[in-house]
Chain A
Amino acid sequence: AQSVTQLDSHVSVSEGTPVLLRCNYSSSYSPSLFWYVQHPNKGLQLLLKYTSAATLVKGINGFEAEFKKSETSFHLTKPSAHMSDAAEYFCVVSGWQAGTALIFGKGTTLSVSS
């Protein structure tokens, strides 16, 4: 069975400081991993994806994530937070078979203060 665990339900940072959102995954085979962002009253937007190519994945808006198989982690980072980054972030795992459902974590709320 596959699952993801987002280790923090809420993260607060100041504008201009680094962001770290933590995610651990569990999968019986090589997973595809994603980070999605959801702004209030909006749908989900893909930030980045890992699909067994490079372990360091760069996404949109300056976000990146590193796949670490030995630690079963896929943490999301950004060097410098912006006020517009305040949103809900979801770590997601997908199986290798076509059509497999996405399994979402419970989400991390990122707050950015000025």
Chain B
Amino acid sequence: DAGVTQSPTHLIKTRGQHVTLRCSPISGHKSVSWYQQVLGQGPQFIFQYYEKEERGRGNFPDRFSARQFPNYSSELNVNALLLGDSALYLCASRGVGVGAYNSPLHFGNGTRLTVT
């Protein structure tokens, strides 16, 4: 079975540009979350989506937005890129149902974004 897949794997952008990152969850998983991992730090929660609705948002500016599609895949968009947005962006999916609150997240390998 395919795991969580993310594209692209690497991306280089210039300050002020816009970027779109894509994620496909594990088949059957309806919840997708996005995390930002700056070098040397633990991942920080950005968004969670379930059934195409935003269910949680971390402490990130409005330049960050996301959406979930009917097939449960997701996009993360970042506008007006800053140097500090350089990071590994991780997507994770989780099966939702009875007891899902304690089911672990399954992570993709991430998209490495470099802003110059």
Q: Which residues of A contact B (CB under 8 A)?
A: 32, 34, 36, 41-46, 49, 51-52, 90, 94-107
Q: Is the CB of B45 within 8 A of A101?
A: yes
**Chain B contacts of A107 at CB under 8 A?**
41-42
- CB of A98 within 8 A of CB of B96, answer yes
23 pairs, CB–CB < 8 Å, chain A vs chain B: A34-B104, A36-B107, A43-B90, A44-B105, A46-B105, A49-B102, A90-B42, A94-B101, A96-B102, A97-B101, A98-B96, A98-B100, A99-B55, A99-B101, A100-B56, A101-B45, A101-B58, A102-B43, A102-B45, A103-B45, A104-B42, A104-B44, A106-B41
Question: Are A42 and B109 neighbours in the complex by a CB distance under 8 Å?
Answer: yes
Flag if A94 contacts B102 (CB, 8 Å).
Answer: yes
Chain A residue nearest in CB terms to B44: A104
Distance between A6 CB and nearest chain B CB, rounded to angstroms: 8
- Tell me the bound Cα distance from A34 to B102 in angstroms: 10
Q: Does the CB pair A99–B48 fall under 8 Å? A: yes
Is the beta-carbon distance between A100 and B42 smaller than 8 angstroms?
Answer: no
Q: Which residues from B are CB-within-8-Å of A102? A: 33, 35, 43, 45, 105
Chain B residues within 8 Å of A51, by CB = 102
- 17 other A-B residue contacts (CB within 8 Å) besides A43-B107, A44-B107, A101-B48: A34-B104, A36-B107, A41-B112, A42-B109, A43-B108, A45-B107, A46-B105, A90-B42, A90-B43, A95-B101, A96-B102, A99-B50, A102-B33, A102-B43, A104-B43, A105-B42, A106-B41
B residues bordering A, Cβ < 8 Å? 4, 31, 33, 35, 41-45, 48, 50, 55-56, 58, 90, 92, 96, 100-102, 104-110, 112
What chain B residues lie within 8 Å of A103 (beta carbons)?
45
Inter-chain CA distance A34–B43, complex, in Å, is 14
| A36 CB contacts on chain B under 8 angstroms | 107
B56 x A101 contact (CB < 8 A): yes
Residues of A within 8 Å of B100, CB to CB, are 98
Q: Which of A32, A90, A97, A99 lies in contact with B31, CB distance below 8 A?
A: A99
